[in-house]
């Protein structure tokens, strides 16, 4: 990576940090850092354009549709403005914005396929951060932020067949595990991410088993 690219990455990182430092939904600056670091790791293992991968990882949640009434055009538009301000080449801007437009989970019945290796690396990095101990913590942080119930035994998990159904769903945090988080292991793109997801997925299954035992007064 040449010095100019590294300088751009550092400037973009500072801008993202200013925007998300102290954010309280689990989509904060440290989420961006973990995804960024994981993307660099996966990129080293799997290949791809490092510049595109790092920019897309840093900007993947720059304007998450969950906080914009499900509008998945705001993120790419915001990222494009930032990248153009830093004089990033148009083809790189287009690539990064395409990744951002397709990176997010949009319902259990909706497939968001990445067409490039860089996109697959960034999507896997974001999804890995929704798994394991960090994923459990983020799930309850987000649920509390959105005033959702922790669990309602009378409310069953649903299957969202469109992004509209997914974004309008207000079910409990425990249901979110079955509606999204436990599905991610089988939706990883790269071999490296698939291996990492196994252990994190198993941790969540163990957590849920413990949760239900305690909920039912068995411990």
pLDDT of residue 3: 65
pTM of the model: 0.92
Q: How many residues does the chain have?
A: 219
**Max avg pLDDT among 3-12, 20-29, 43-52:** 43-52
Q: pLDDT tens-digit profile of 17-40?
A: 999 988 888 889 999 999 999 999
What local confidence, expressed as pLDDT, does residue 193 receive? Answer: 98
Give CA–CA dist 29/32, Å, rounded: 5
Domain boundaries, the chain: 3-215
Question: Top-level CATH class of 3-215?
Answer: mainly alpha
DSSP-based three-state secondary structure for 185: helix
CA–CA separation, 72 vs 32, rounded Å?
18
pLDDT for res 2: 58
């Amino acid at each position: 990576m040449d010095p100019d690219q590294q300088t751009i990455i550092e400037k973009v990182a500072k801008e993202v940090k200013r925007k998300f430092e102290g954010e309280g939904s689990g989509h904060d600056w440290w989420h961006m850092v973990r995804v960024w670091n994981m993307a660099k790791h996966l990129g080293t293992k799997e290949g791809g354009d490092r510049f595109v991968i790092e920019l897309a990882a840093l900007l993947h949640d720059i304007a998450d549709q969950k906080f914009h009434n499900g509008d998945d055009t705001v993120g790419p538009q915001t990222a494009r403005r930032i990248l153009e301000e830093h004089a990033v080449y148009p083809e790189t801007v287009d690539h990064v914005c395409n990744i951002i437009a397709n990176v997010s989970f949009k319902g259990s019945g909706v497939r968001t396929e990445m067409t490039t290796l860089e996109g697959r690396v960034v999507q896997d990095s974001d999804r890995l951060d929704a798994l394991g101990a960090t994923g459990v913590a983020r799930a309850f942080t987000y649920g509390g932020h959105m005033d959702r119930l922790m669990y309602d035994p009378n409310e069953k998990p649903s299957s969202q067949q469109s992004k509209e159904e997914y974004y309008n769903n207000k079910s409990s945090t425990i249901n979110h595990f079955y509606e999204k988080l436990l599905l991610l292991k089988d939706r990883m793109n790269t071999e490296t991410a698939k291996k990492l997801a196994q252990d994190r997925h198993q941790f969540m299954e163990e957590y849920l088993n413990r949760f239900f035992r305690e909920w039912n007064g068995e411990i």
